């Protein structure tokens, strides 16, 4: 196997046993980037010089038998994560030449854990989108079939992992922006509990919905990475003082005796029949392995997408107000069409005469959606559901119909409204394109989600496939 397609666990073992160096690992990633980035449009900025220095430093530490969780591991960052001295654009021409004076908290934690930062990955501008097509620097393509989208908004991050350009990548999930591209690219994507990972230094989309997660090749890698990034941050008041457990500790406990809920509202008309079949195969597998499968209802699901697309644009319009072209960034005329659309929608719903009718009502429905999940988790330990009602679509297919694009978030957005964690795990391929399922749990139940995901992964091995057979 090519070095850049190793899992974090495999790479750490190889580094420790001196089968290869961190510089070798990094060079393997850069080989893939140089070979494929022109086509796939994954990276907006590469930090080759800085990364090489970090890799050399890692090799010295390894030679001195130092051990850090991510020592020498190449990682890509979604281009919303502030990086000191390295261009950070949010994939928007507004911030085309912005260079932050500081690192985001997550970036600091990754560096302190020994990670090697490869570069900044493309995304929908300001994270506005489900396909990766709203980037001001052009869309990212799906390496499994370059005519199709890879999912968004964390498009470049997901593709960097599946295409062997990095061993892991950070992402943000406001309404499915990690889970959707994970499902569409055969990667593992975690959207942690809201506040579990600090948002400090990460360009905000919708502040009450944004969750900070990542993409990896395996569930175990995802758990190991969350061990590094999770925790209380004095610079982010939304991070609670909840203890960070060892998320990899219970990975191999299996699913016997667990109660897994299947929400009827997520298996409605409009769900692709082939996706439904793959999810049902996974459910039968868990039942065979000793889990108890229980039908549940989340009755307010039908209102979730409308609620999400009132609250989210309202917060977007507030967050983007700071980009006035005076203190930093380019003039507001530089905003792309989708950013302008969301600013206008949000400003409208917050305006006098409409606030009570729209925003206030949406916040009440949000509470009902959260209560649905709370009630469900009194009966079950976890929930399994599709990530998206459809498979990846062709580039350009929905660009002129934003409502169709918004509907791709119908199964993902409720999880952000409730603030609970969700893990997307690969479950197969349909017509040559990957598909995943999402495993959901109560607040701060990430360990349980990893355990359930791990049991499926080790018995199916979909994660061993990559688009190039390397």
SS (H, E, C) 18-31: CCCCHHHHHHHHHH
CA 145, 150, 156, 157 torsion-angle sign: negative
Question: How confident is the model at residue 118, as a pLDDT?
Answer: 98
Q: CB burial class (10 A; 0-12, 13-18, 19+) of residue 324?
A: exposed
Question: How confident is the model at residue 440, as a pLDDT?
Answer: 98
Nearest to 346 by CA among 369, 323, 319: 319
CA distance 329 to 94: 5
Model confidence, pTM: 0.97
Would you give the distance in Å from CA 449 to the centre of its chain? 15
* Positions marked catalytic: 78, 153, 177
CA distance 293 to 275: 19
CA distance 272 to 277: 9
Q: What is the DSSP string of 219-277?
A: HHHHHHHHHHHBS-BTTBTTS-------TTTTTTS--TT-EEEEEGGGS-TTS-HHHHH
CA distance 311 to 318: 11
Question: How confident is the model at residue 400, as a pLDDT?
Answer: 80
Backbone torsion region of residue 325, taken as left when φ is above 0, otherwise alpha when ψ lies between -120 and 50, otherwise beta? left
Residue 409 three-state SS: coil
Q: Write the CB contacts of 299 (distance below 8 Å, at least 6 apart in sequence).
A: 265, 372
Question: How confident is the model at residue 1, as a pLDDT?
Answer: 81
Strands 259-263 and 292-296, bridge-based pairing = parallel
Q: Say if residues 382 and 441 touch (Cβ distance below 8 Å).
A: yes
CA distance 307 to 295: 25
Question: Average pLDDT by consecutive 10-residue portion of the chain (470 residues)?
Answer: 96 98 98 98 98 98 96 98 98 96 98 98 97 98 98 98 98 98 98 98 98 98 98 98 94 98 95 97 98 98 95 96 89 93 93 87 97 98 97 92 82 98 98 98 98 98 91
CA distance 245 to 186: 27
**CA angle, residues 308, 311, 312, in degrees to nearest 5:** 75
Stated as kind and residue range, the H or E segment containing 44 is strand 43-46
CA distance 47 to 365: 44
Question: How confident is the model at residue 403, as a pLDDT?
Answer: 72
Considering the segment(s) 3-464 as one domain, its CATH architecture is: Alpha-Beta Complex (3.90)
CA distance 233 to 238: 9
Residue 446 three-state SS: helix
CA distances from 343 to 31, 173, 315 (A): 40, 19, 9
Q: Name the DSSP class of 193.
A: P
Domain definitions of the chain by residue range: 3-464
Q: Say if residues 230 and 134 touch (Cβ distance below 8 Å).
A: no
Question: How confident is the model at residue 149, as a pLDDT?
Answer: 98
């Amino acid at each position: 196997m090519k070095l850049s397609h190793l899992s974090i666990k495999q790479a750490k073992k190889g580094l420790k046993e001196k089968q290869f160096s961190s510089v070798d690992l990094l060079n393997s990633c850069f080989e893939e980037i140089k070979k494929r980035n022109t086509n796939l449009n994954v990276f907006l900025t590469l930090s080759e010089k800085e990364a090489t220095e970090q890799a050399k430093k890692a090799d010295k530490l390894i030679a001195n038998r130092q051990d850090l969780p991510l020592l020498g591991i190449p990682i890509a960052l979604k281009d919303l994560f502030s990086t000191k001295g390295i261009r950070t654009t949010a994939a928007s021409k507004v911030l085309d030449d912005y260079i932050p004076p500081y690192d985001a908290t997550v970036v600091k934690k990754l560096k302190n854990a020994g990670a090697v930062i490869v570069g900044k990955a493309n995304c929908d501008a300001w994270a506005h989108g489900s396909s990766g097509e709203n980037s001001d620097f052009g869309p990212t393509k799906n390496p499994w079939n370059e005519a199709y989208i890879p999912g968004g908004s964390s498009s470049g991050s997901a593709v960097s992992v599946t295409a062997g350009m990095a061993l892991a990548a950070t992402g943000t999930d406001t309404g499915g922006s990690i889970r959707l591209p994970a499902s569409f690219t055969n990667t593992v994507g975690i959207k942690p509990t809201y506040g579990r990972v600090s948002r400090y230094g990460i360009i905000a989309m919708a502040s009450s919905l944004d969750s900070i997660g990542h993409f990896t090749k395996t569930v175990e890698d995802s758990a190991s990475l969350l061990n590094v990034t999770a925790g209380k941050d004095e610079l982010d008041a939304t991070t609670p003082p909840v203890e960070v457990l060892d998320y990899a500790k219970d990975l191999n406990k299996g699913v016997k005796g667990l109660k897994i809920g299947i929400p009827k509202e997520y298996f409605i008309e409009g769900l692709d029949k082939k996706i439904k079949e793959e999810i049902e195969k996974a459910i039968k597998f868990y039942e065979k392995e000793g889990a108890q499968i229980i039908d549940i209802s989340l009755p307010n699901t039908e209102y979730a997408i409308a609620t999400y697309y009132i609250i989210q644009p309202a917060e977007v319009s507030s967050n983007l107000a700071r980009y006035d072209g005076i203190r930093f960034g380019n003039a507001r005329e530089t905003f792309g069409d989708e950013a302008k659309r969301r600013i206008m929608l949000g400003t409208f719903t917050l305006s006098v005469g409409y606030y009570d009718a729209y925003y206030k009502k949406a916040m009440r429905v949000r509470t009902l959606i959260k209560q649905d999940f709370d009630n469900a988790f009194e009966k079950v330990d976890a929930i399994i559901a599709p990530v998206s009602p459809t498979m990846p679509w062709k580039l350009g297919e929905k660009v002129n119909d934003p409502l169709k694009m918004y509907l791709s978030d119908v199964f993902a957005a409720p999880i952000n409204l409730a603030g609970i964690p969700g893990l997307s795990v690969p479950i197969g391929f349909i017509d040559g394109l990957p598909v995943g399922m999402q495993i959901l749990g109560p607040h701060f139940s990430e360990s349980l989600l990893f355990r359930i995901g791990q049991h499926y992964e080790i018995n199916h091995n979909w994660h061993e496939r990559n688009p190039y057979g390397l």
